Amino acid sequence: MIRLLLKKQIYMEGGYMLDSSNILIGVLMMMGGLFGMMLSFYIALCFIQWVSDVIEEKRWYVWKEWFSYDN
């Protein structure tokens, strides 16, 4: 009786992830999520580095001249 219930859950895509394709999809989704998180942290760190470079090299002085309307 229990085996029949487990087979029904596998066929109905219900409770347990016992099917190998479901396990593969779950693992791929976890890997994709981790990759997405790493990529977002990398992009955030690149932005922080860019802001640091702008502050350190005082690039806003050049930008100030470009966008000044006092000409």
The Cα 60–Cα 26 span in angstroms is 47
Separation between Cα atoms, residue 27 and residue 21, nearest integer Å = 10
User: Does the pLDDT at position 47 exceed 90?
Assistant: yes
> Cβ–Cβ contacts within 10 Å for residue 67, how many?
8
Structure letter (DSSP) for residue 12: T
Identify the residue whose tokens are 């922080």. 48
Q: How many whole angstroms separate alpha carbon 33 and alpha carbon 29?
A: 6
Reported as a single tens digit per residue, the pLDDT across 13-25 is: 555 555 677 888 8
Structure tokens at 59: 């690039």
18 vs 68, residue with greater confidence: 68
